Structure 1
Amino acid sequence: MFGIVRPCTHRLSNGLKAEWMAHLCGLCLALRGDHGQFARVVTNYDGLIVSVLTDAQSGRAAAQRRTAGPCPLRGMRTASVAKGEGARLAASVSLVLASAKIRDHVADRNGLLRRRPVAAAARKVAAGWDRAGARTGATLGFDTSVLVDAVDRQVGIEQLAGPGTPLTVVTEPTETATAAAFAHTAVLAGRPGNAAPLAEAGRLFGRLAHLLDAVEDRAADAAEGAWNPLTATGASPAQARRLCDDALHGIRLALRDVEFTDSALVHALLVHELRRSVDRAFGTASCSHQGHGAGPYDGGTGNPYGQPQPYPAPPSYGHAPPGGPYAHGPQHLNGPQNPYAGGAVPQGGHGGHGGFGGHAGFGGDSGSGGHGTPRPPKKPRGLLAGCAVAIGLCCTCQLCCAEEYEGPWSRKKREGCCRDCDCCDSCEGCNCCPDSCCCDGCCCDC
């Protein structure tokens, strides 16, 4: 599973958690039902937002649900899952965009895809997913050629991009594709008046998805010599952050113009969790079970757009000085919680959470050797090797229950979507909105 909106389910109320899981499982089962078992590997967190938007406009009374049988990813439990046009549209979009991702990896000659037989097999899989997505989209009145055209234009834009090229030029094809998918949810829900604001929200969501992927992959791309928007255009992280902040604000404004029947889950994902995704990509904390406290970009600071704050540099010695400024409490160093809090000595070998031995500021799973010596980022797996690992993760339930596992393709650190965490124990522990943790209502004004 992949995507930029990866909420810790313990930040959601019980009702919202059940709804989120219903859409996630609904997307997975729609892929299996229409396109076979193998298609389930393209299940992703961002794709289910299409299903969420459709139901949010239709209302709970019109939302279609069915009881699914036991599944290893749910701990062999049954569950009420989403079905109908929203889930099928999400499946169609996921297939086409996954096909585009495969072709991109083939063009970049990543991993095993450097070998011609493997690359040929990958192209065949991608072509099959393109056709399958188009068939499903056609039954729903959605022309997936908009997505395919956007993907094809992306290659040419990347070839022409150079120092000084605006980042928005590079992100335009992704913006166009997501805008079309978001807008069509209004058609499926029978609310054509929502199409324009949803298209705007989708356009900005596509910009965020492209930029955050570039930020997270910057170190790995540099190590492999792969193309990266930030490196190619010479854009600074601060420029990327400003664009992300503007996109977050624009999405919030666009959603205000959408007529929803029940917007609770949409609000939680596209307002609160999307902001946390930006914080995570730029090396700030989102959830305490990851070993972090509230980061400097968090809503609890009173700054919803996350302008960075100055923090002291870490000490150069191995142990925190007793009684010193790093000895107690969640002091923040360049974003994540102070690794010296409580007098602990930094240990090597655990990356992926920013700061020392984490994202090294922007993307990558560099980890750290003893006493903070960085290791080079692991190379992503190829298509077939990643599929084999993904099957193993599914069969062993690590995708839902593991404390932490390695992404099958990216090799980045991921968290099981159903495992326990201690995000907060009461409404008083919420940073911004009770709805994001344990209450049914939302107190924020966004």
Structure 2
Amino acid sequence: MFGIVRPCRHGMCGGLFKEWMAHLCGLCLALRDEHGHAARLVTNYDGLLVSVLTEAQTTTPAARRRAGACALRGFKGADVAEAEGVRLAAAVSLILAAGKVADHVADGDGAYARRPVALVAGKVAARWSAAGTRTAGDLGFVPEPLLRAAEAQTRLEGTPGLGLPALTAPTGEAVAAAFGHTALLAGKPHNRETLMEAGRHFGRLAHLLDAVEDLAADRATGAYNPLTASGTDLAAARRHADDALLGLELAVADLDLERRTLVRALLVKETRRSADRVFALADRERQEDPGAPGPPEAPPRDPRLKPDPGGLLSMACAAMACCTCGLYRPPWDEERYRSCWDRCDCSGCDACSNCGNCCDCCSCCGDDGCGCDGCGCDC
């Protein structure tokens, strides 16, 4: 699973976390039911925002169905979302994942530099793109902006002298198209332009944060990175991120929503948390070696981790990690020895009752004065 919106039970009220999980599991099962088990590899945190936005605009919550035991839920069943928004999220995830894989093949990143792996990955990407396009057509969604995004990105990466806004524009337009169509599915077409604006900000931010996270590794391998290509330092990148965060928050505030709490929690609070986390890590690495020129180097590797062998073995282990929802981690995965507390910012927590161990209840859902239904706290 990939994406910048990664809430956990330590930073979100129990009721909201359950809703988020319903959309996440619904996306995973929709991919399985319509496109086979292999398609579940494209399940991602950001893609389910499409499902969340669709449900938030409808007068009645999306239908739920009972799902069986799953590793991600501690081998327990759950009620998961089942609606057109989930199918749209599945289509968008397939198309964007296909574009991401095609970009890795074109750049020759890591294992993709090997010809057999590149050939297999290219065929998988083409199959995912075709499957996502079919589902999008069933929902009345025109997927051309998503299909063009990867092509436009490849063309821009080969054009020297471009600034960061130009390099992140294709991702923004792709997400804008997906967000905008949720208004049509939910029967609120007047929300479409505002949703597209929110999508542009979110897409640009996602691309930017991905570039900041990969900066040190891309420098080490010589891979393309939009920050390096545009000559953007971390301070300027942070300003771009703050602009996108503000634009996203304002757009969310302007939306006509029936249920606003989860949307604000994910698109406002968790998105800002992700930006803070990414830039804090980059700043900390630079402070540890202030005399180092250029962007920060990669953080020290855990000595317990084994080297990634690459090739088919690496891909097979990645598939197993995804199919077990992260319960299994290969010996070279940096998340293998990290606990949830290492990944989450739980500073200031005092383990208040039934609130995911987080003391600031109303900030958990990003909606001041919400009352945090189901939280168990008198906030």
TM-score, normalised relative to structure 1: 0.73
Offset of residue 413 of structure 1:
3.5
Q: 2:335 aligns with which of 402, 413, 416?
A: 413
1:441 aligns with 2:371: yes
Within 5 A, what are the aligned runs for 1:191-270? 191-270=188-267
SS in 1 for 2:280: coil
Q: Which has the larger radius of gyration?
A: 1
Could you tell me which residue of structure 2 aligns to residue 141 of structure 1?
Answer: 140
Contact 1:179 1:206 in 2 (8 A): yes
List per-residue Cα deviations over 1:349-374 (Å, max 9, x = no partner): xxxx99759xx99787532589xxxx
Structure 2 Cα separation of the partners of residues 234 and 79 of structure 1: 48
Within 5 A, what are the aligned runs for 1:80-99? 80-99=79-98
Structure 2 Cα separation of the partners of residues 225 and 31 of structure 1: 35
Contact 2:50 2:85 in 1 (8 A): yes
Structure 2 Cα separation of the partners of residues 435 and 182 of structure 1: 21
Contact 2:26 2:82 in 1 (8 A): yes
1:399 aligns with 2:321: no
List per-residue Cα deviations over 1:371-400 (Å, max 9, x = no partner): xxxxxx9987757444312343356x5725
Contact 2:91 2:131 in 1 (8 A): yes
Structure 2 Cα separation of the partners of residues 87 and 418 of structure 1: 30
Structure 2 Cα separation of the partners of residues 88 and 20 of structure 1: 16
Offset of residue 207 of structure 1:
0.5
Offset of residue 421 of structure 1:
7.6
C-alpha spacing 1:276/1:407, structure 2 compared with 1 (3 Å): farther
The amino acid across from 1:169 in the alignment is A
34-43 or 420-429, which moves further after superposition?
Answer: 420-429
Structure 2 Cα separation of the partners of residues 368 and 210 of structure 1: 25
Offset of residue 39 of structure 1:
0.4
SS in 1 for 2:158: helix
SS in 1 for 2:251: helix
Contact 1:215 1:362 in 2 (8 A): no
C-alpha spacing 1:379/1:152, structure 2 compared with 1 (3 Å): farther
The amino acid across from 1:48 in the alignment is L
Within 5 A, what are the aligned runs for 1:155-174? 155-162=154-161, 165-174=162-171
List per-residue Cα deviations over 1:25-84 (Å, max 9, x = no partner): 00100100110000001100000111100011114x341111111122222100010111
Contact 2:265 2:364 in 1 (8 A): no
Contact 2:264 2:366 in 1 (8 A): no
Offset of residue 7 of structure 1:
1.2
Contact 1:95 1:133 in 2 (8 A): yes
1:429 aligns with 2:362: no
Percent identical residues: 52
| Runs (5+) with no aligned partner, structure 2 | 373-379
Q: 2:317 aligns with which of 373, 385, 389?
A: 389
C-alpha spacing 1:369/1:406, structure 2 compared with 1 (3 Å): closer
Aligned-residue CA RMSD (Å): 3.3
Contact 1:183 1:196 in 2 (8 A): yes
C-alpha spacing 1:83/1:383, structure 2 compared with 1 (3 Å): farther
SS in 2 for 1:130: helix
The amino acid across from 1:139 in the alignment is D
Offset of residue 115 of structure 1:
2.4
Could you tell me which residue of structure 2 aligns to residue 347 of structure 1?
Answer: none
TM-score, normalised relative to structure 2: 0.85
For CA contacts below 8 A with separation 6 or more, give which structure has more relative contact order.
2
Q: 1:271 aligns with which of 254, 268, 287?
A: 268
Could you tell me which residue of structure 2 aligns to residue 104 of structure 1?
Answer: 103
Could you tell me which residue of structure 2 aligns to residue 151 of structure 1?
Answer: 150
Offset of residue 11 of structure 1:
1.2
Structure 2 Cα separation of the partners of residues 120 and 75 of structure 1: 36
Could you tell me which residue of structure 2 aligns to residue 65 of structure 1?
Answer: 64
SS in 2 for 1:269: helix
Within 5 A, what are the aligned runs for 1:103-142? 103-142=102-141
Could you tell me which residue of structure 2 aligns to residue 10 of structure 1?
Answer: 10
Structure 2 Cα separation of the partners of residues 161 and 420 of structure 1: 37
SS in 1 for 2:30: helix
C-alpha spacing 1:431/1:70, structure 2 compared with 1 (3 Å): closer
